[in-house]
């Protein structure tokens, strides 16, 4: 089985930069500890003076001779005055000739946070200088904002392409790597720990798979984002977990931004000789030993369930509370569409014992099949979408005829789809009128038609006992004589007529087997798959829809776990993944307490104990 290429190294230029000393710094921080990757940020601290081109060539020669892969960072975004880049075409040609495969490309940094999450003036520096990536924008709708973002990022990439650079890398603090890829980025990377890594690493991996990226990486900015108290021991434990989690999740490139050489932030300073920086270096070294010792199979972890990042969705998972930098208009502030992404905080957490909608011999509710999920762009083609058994829509989506047809084909091939009527809205305007698909396309996918009426009610609902999809278990009684459940306030429901679909749940305000004429959850068999629609035109983040959609999401992922050939039962502090060949990675993310994990495969049961912070690799 082919082994993954995994690179691990450091970033040069976080706390000062002297081109004369770069080779010495590489020797000290990378070659001596036997690392194999470097990011070089070629700019003087606080200034944008041009750097002599001979330095880039000298660095490339030295790095390739020592078999160290490398990228440059911010050469375009912080170019010298009057120039497009710190680099020149002749320099790039020479670097490619000298370094070959070791030159991975040029990197742009944090465009998602600065162009889609931050208020104007957020990056204003002392002395009045403003970072040029901090923008004031005014867009009429989500589509125009999306296109404006891609155009702006594309301008950076065009400069690199004109220089002769084939691969452009992005280091992104948000979940917006899919738009960087649309602009031309070929190697996406994520900055940890700006947001929830469970969510953002899943987004990174889903995008990398959708564009068939040869590598994807994790940029570990732990000095700034692992916690504000450098002396806190839990911060260092968090760094260890960040590396181990990223490794089991499939990261190909690790880069520690800083901390091994010094810490200089939040009003503190710790030198390389400090215990804290020593701990950073030890974690770097331990990670390198793991990479050398382990033969992680190529292709990343197995994933059965994917959440869909919808068309024009700008939820980034970190920074800011308005989308697409539109802080000047209230309708652009985070609302139900963005709140819907909180559903992903449920993944990895076991259901409470009081939850009657948890079924089965074992509690498999903490994670989907094989432990991991992806966040996949709706822009991916149907072949890439079809690698997943389940697709679940969460946040904003502007529907198109093309995507309706693509989703219908996905289900026809055997996929299981979950979405709400809110995700079917063709409008690109926040707070605008709702435009739903034509009757023909809706009937093909969901086996129903919209009557045109919208009913506002605070009724609860009743599930039917049976679901169309095998292994999916709904909280319903056989005779429908039961209390309505999941009532949580007023919501808006699109009235539907069934045309081959199956009403898996109806709205009800009575204990007896009656309903109020609204199909709440519709299932439809298309080919060998099943499409499931929640008929509310409110996004799942709406308070009255949340309990229902949350329960459906949990049942979808639990059903996927029931069907998997490898099952893992344990604490919800466990994070785990499975690679080809039955290689299982188990990580205890608890800071203090050991956990016991039960692994089930082919009727055999294996119990494994993990110490706190321990990563264990098991062959089954």
Give start and end residues of each alpha helix (H) in 413-545. Answer: 439-446
Indicate the pLDDT class of residue 119, thresholds 50, 70 and 90.
confident
The residue among 293, 322, 341 that closes a domain is: 293
Q: What is the pLDDT of residues 230-249, one digit of tens each?
A: 999 999 999 999 999 999 99
CATH number of the domain residue 60 falls in:
3.20.20.80
Asked whether the beta carbons of 68 and 36 are under 8 A apart, the reply is yes
Average pLDDT over residues 87-101: 97
Asked whether the beta carbons of 599 and 605 are under 8 A apart, the reply is yes
58 and 206 inside one domain: yes
Q: What is the DSSP letter of 11?
A: E
Q: What is the pLDDT of residues 434-485, one digit of tens each?
A: 999 989 999 999 999 999 999 999 999 999 999 999 889 999 999 989 999 9
Average pLDDT over residues 288-307: 97
Where b means 16+ CB within 10 Å and e means fewer, 255-287 reads bbbbbbbbbbbeeeebeeeeebbebbbebbeeb
Across the chain, mean pLDDT equals 94
What is the per-residue pLDDT for 126? Answer: 44
502 and 406 inside one domain: yes
205 and 318 inside one domain: no
What distance in Å separates the CA atoms of residue 273 and residue 292, rounded to the nearest whole number?
A: 27
What is the per-residue pLDDT for 290? Answer: 97
Q: Examine the pLDDT at 99 and tell me if it is beyond 90.
A: yes
Give start and end residues of each alpha helix (H) in 67-169. Answer: 89-99, 111-116, 142-163
Q: What is the pTM of this model?
A: 0.96
Q: Where are the beta strands (DSSP E) in 210-293?
A: 217-220, 253-256, 262-265, 268-271
Extract the tokens encoding 324. Answer: 């697409």
607 and 552 inside one domain: no
CATH number of the domain residue 356 falls in:
3.40.50
Indicate the pLDDT class of residue 130, thresholds 50, 70 and 90.
very low
For residue 299, being part of any structural domain is answered with no
For residue 300, being part of any structural domain is answered with no
* Residues in a beta bridge with 142: none
Residue appearing with tokens 């344990």: 570
62 and 142 inside one domain: yes
What is the per-residue pLDDT for 581? Answer: 92
173 and 83 inside one domain: yes
- DSSP secondary structure letters along 509-557: -SSSS---S-EEEEEEEETTEEEEEE-BSS-TTSTTTHHHHHHHHHHHH
Extract the tokens encoding 615. Answer: 């990563």
Q: What is the pLDDT of residues 580-614, one digit of tens each?
A: 999 999 999 999 999 999 999 998 999 999 999 99
The H or E element that residue 604 is part of is strand 604-610
158 and 256 inside one domain: yes
476 and 491 inside one domain: yes
Average pLDDT over residues 303-316: 97
Q: What is the pLDDT of residues 553-575, one digit of tens each?
A: 999 999 999 999 999 999 999 99
Q: Which of 2-6, 360-364, 430-434 has the highest mean pLDDT?
A: 2-6
Q: Examine the pLDDT at 136 and tell me if it is beyond 70.
A: no
Extract the tokens encoding 65. Answer: 């001779």
For residue 2, being part of any structural domain is answered with no
250 and 164 inside one domain: yes
The residue among 293, 319, 344 that closes a domain is: 293
271 and 411 inside one domain: no
Indicate the pLDDT class of residue 81, thresholds 50, 70 and 90.
confident
For residue 1, being part of any structural domain is answered with no
314 and 358 inside one domain: yes
- Least confident range from 119-123, 147-151, 265-269, 366-370: namely 119-123
Structural domain including 410 reads 305-563
What is the per-residue pLDDT for 128? Answer: 44
Q: What is the pLDDT of residues 393-435, one digit of tens each?
A: 999 999 999 999 999 999 999 999 999 999 999 999 998 889 9
What is the per-residue pLDDT for 249? Answer: 98
**How many structural domains are present in the chain?**
3
Q: What are phi and psi of 450, to 5 degrees?
A: -85, 135
What is the per-residue pLDDT for 125? Answer: 55
The residue among 245, 265, 293 that closes a domain is: 293
516 and 607 inside one domain: no
- What is the signed CA dihedral for 429, 435, 438, 443, rounded to 10 degrees? 100
Q: Examine the pLDDT at 496 and tell me if it is beyond 50.
A: yes
Average pLDDT over residues 519-534: 98
């Amino acid at each position: 089985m082919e082994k993954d290429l995994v690179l691990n190294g450091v970033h040069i230029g976080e706390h000062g930069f002297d081109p004369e000393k770069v080779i010495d710094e590489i020797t000290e921080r990378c070659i001596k500890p036997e690392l194999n990757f470097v990011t070089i940020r070629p700019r003087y601290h606080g200034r944008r003076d041009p750097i002599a081109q001979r330095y880039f060539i000298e660095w490339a020669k030295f790095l390739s001779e020592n078999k160290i892969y490398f990228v440059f960072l911010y050469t375009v975004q912080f170019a010298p005055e009057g120039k497009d880049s710190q680099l020149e075409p002749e320099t790039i040609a020479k670097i490619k000739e000298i370094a070959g495969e070791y030159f991975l490309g040029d990197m742009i940094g944090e465009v998602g946070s600065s162009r889609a999450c931050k208020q104007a003036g957020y990056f204003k520096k002392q002395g009045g200088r403003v970072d040029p990536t901090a923008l004031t924008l005014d867009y009429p709708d989500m589509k125009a904002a999306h296109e404006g973002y891609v155009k702006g990022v594309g301008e950076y990439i065009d400069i690199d392409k004109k220089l002769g650079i084939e691969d452009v890398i992005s280091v992104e603090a948000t979940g917006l790597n899919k738009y960087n890829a649309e602009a031309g980025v070929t190697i996406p990377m994520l900055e940890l720990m700006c947001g929830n890594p469970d969510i953002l690493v899943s987004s990174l991996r889903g995008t990398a798979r959708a564009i068939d990226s040869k590598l994807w990486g994790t940029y570990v900015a732990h000095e700034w984002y692992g916690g504000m108290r450098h002396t806190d021991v839990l911060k260092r434990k968090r760094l260890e977990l960040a590396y181990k989690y990223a490794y089991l999740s499939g990261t190909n490139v690790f880069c520690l931004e800083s901390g091994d050489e010094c810490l200089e932030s939040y009003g503190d300073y710790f030198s390389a000789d400090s215990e804290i920086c020593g701990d950073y270096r030890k974690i770097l070294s331990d990670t390198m030993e793991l990479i050398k010792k382990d033969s992680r199979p190529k292709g990343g972890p197995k994933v059965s369930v994917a959440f869909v990042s919808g068309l024009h969705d700008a939820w980034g998972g970190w920074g800011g509370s308005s989308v697409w930098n539109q802080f000047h208009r209230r309708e652009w502030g985070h609302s139900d569409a963005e709140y819907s992404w909180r559903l992903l905080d449920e993944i990895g957490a076991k259901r409470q014992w009081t939850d009657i909608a948890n079924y089965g011999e074992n509690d498999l509710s903490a994670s989907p099949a094989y432990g991991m999920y992806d966040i996949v762009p709706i822009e991916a083609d149907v072949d890439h979408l079809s690698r997943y058994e389940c697709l679940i829509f969460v946040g904003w989506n502007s529907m198109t005829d093309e995507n309706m047809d693509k989703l219908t084909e996905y289900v026809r091939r055997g996929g299981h789809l979950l979405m709400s009527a809110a995700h079917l809205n063709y409008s690109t305007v926040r707070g605008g009128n709702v435009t739903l698909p034509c009757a023909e396309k809706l009937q093909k996918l969901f086996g129903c038609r919209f009557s045109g009426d919208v009913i506002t009610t605070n009724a609860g609902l009743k599930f039917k006992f049976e679901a169309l999809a095998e292994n999916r278990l709904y909280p319903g009684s056989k005779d429908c004589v039961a209390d309505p459940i999941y009532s949580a306030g007023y919501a808006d429901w699109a009235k539907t007529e069934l045309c081959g679909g199956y009403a898996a749940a109806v709205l009800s305000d009575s204990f007896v087997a009656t309903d109020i004429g609204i199909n709440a959850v519709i299932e439809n068999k298309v080919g060998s798959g099943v499409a499931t629609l929640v008929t509310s035109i409110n996004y799942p983040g709406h308070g009255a829809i949340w309990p229902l959609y949350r329960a459906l999401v949990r049942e979808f992922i639990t059903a996927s776990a029931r069907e998997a050939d490898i099952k893992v039962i344990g604490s919800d502090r466990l994070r785990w993944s499975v690679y080809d060949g039955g290689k299982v990675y188990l990580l205890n993310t608890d800071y203090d307490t050991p956990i016991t994990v039960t692994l089930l495969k082919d009727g055999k049961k294996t119990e494994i104990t993990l110490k706190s912070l321990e990563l264990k690799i098991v062959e089954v």
